[in-house]
Amino acid sequence: MLGIIDYGMGNLFSVSKALERLDVPYFISEDKDQLLEADALILPGVGAFKDAMARLNESGLTDMIHDYTNSGRPLLGICLGMQLLFEESEEHGQTEGLKLLPGKVIRFPGVTEEGASYKVPHMGWNLLSFNGTNALTENIQNDYAYFVHSYYAATEEEVIIAKSLYDKEVPAVVGKGNVYGMQFHPEKSSKLGMQLLNNFTQLMKKG
């Protein structure tokens, strides 16, 4: 069964409804022992990086997440949940992340190299371009996903599964080992998002 981590800063309703449409059994919990029994975990997130890490640290969920990923079972971070997977963020001052993926979360500058301004946050539908195929991207073609974010992950190329262009190429889907992340909202991204979620749920069956 799939577990959704409840630490008070995730859009639990939309994620859970997407799993119901996929007919995937799930539970929502803040209990560390129960979450450790899951076959796969989703870390959702809406809000500020600093506040989210404070809640994870204070509740002991940070240690639980590390124990869980060390077991080799799959973990998916969504939106802010993806950003939390990285080493640190500059949002509201430097804050350490979960350090499961290499890189730093930084703000869109809002100004191009030529000096033209653009809107921040990055909000709306944008095209994803995938780098090859893996277990998460089976039966996936380049398509549009729904984004809402002001910060993006600056990371290593080998971690990036898909990119999106918003002034610059930014990571949209990331992964290393059994740890995955999606910057956009897959549960709000029509056929593409649902296929990606479905592919992730298949990973727990392969384990």
Known catalytic residues? 79, 185, 187
CA 107/CA 151 separation, integer angstroms: 4
Distant-in-sequence, close-in-space partners of 139: CB < 8 Å, separation ≥ 6: 195, 199
| Residue positions counted in the chain | 207
CA 175/CA 95 separation, integer angstroms: 21
Distant-in-sequence, close-in-space partners of 135: CB < 8 Å, separation ≥ 6: 199, 202, 203, 206
